Amino acid sequence: MPKPHFLFRKYQNSIKVTVTNLEELDVATIQTIEQFVKSRKGYFDFNTYSFVLQKRLEFEEFKKVLELSSFDVLLEKEKIEEEYQARVSFGQYKGLLYSELPDSYIIWLKNNYIGRDRGFIEAELKSRKL
């Protein structure tokens, strides 16, 4: 049975981890992942094969958490393109990059925001496959 493959991405106040091979894992392994996320007050989204933890963790810190919990996974840090990225120009996240916003907020914007930054929101939704 293959090990879970985690793709780590850090945001301003949270982390997002995509399980790239979720469909190849057995039910017991998936339940272990769910329990790991739940015990850290996170949210697992089966639509995007990812989970979010509302913690400010760096990659190495998250790696230690996995090691301490005896969770055997392949862990990789997502490479983020260093091109121009738009910043939020309004609200509580003003000044942050759209790529740093939590999934829940970017989805809320999709359904509720109709201003000039709509194109940036759509592009971020597409890049996250939401």
Residues 64 and 103 in one domain: no
Residue 112: which residues within 8 A CB-CB, separation 6 or more?
A: none
Residues 14 and 70 in one domain: yes
Q: What is the pLDDT of residues 22-47, one digit of tens each?
A: 999 999 999 999 999 999 899 999 88
Higher per-residue confidence, 12 vs 23: 23
CB atoms inside a 10 Å sphere around CB 34: 14
The count of structural domains within the chain is: 2
DSSP character at residue 94: T
> With contact defined as beta carbons under 8 Å apart, do 100 and 52 qualify?
no
pTM across the whole model:
0.61
The whole-angstrom separation of Cα 120 and Cα 126 is: 10
pLDDT, residue 81, reads 52
* 105-125 mean pLDDT: 88
CB atoms inside a 10 Å sphere around CB 16: 20
Domain extent for 112: 81-130
pLDDT, residue 84, reads 59
Residues 15 and 56 in one domain: yes
Place of tokens 């509580």: 92
Residues 22 and 68 in one domain: yes
Residues 69 and 87 in one domain: no
Helix (H) or strand (E) holding 31: helix 27-39
Residues 123 and 85 in one domain: yes
Q: What is the pLDDT of residues 60-113, one digit of tens each?
A: 999 999 999 888 899 999 876 544 578 888 888 888 888 888 999 999 999 998
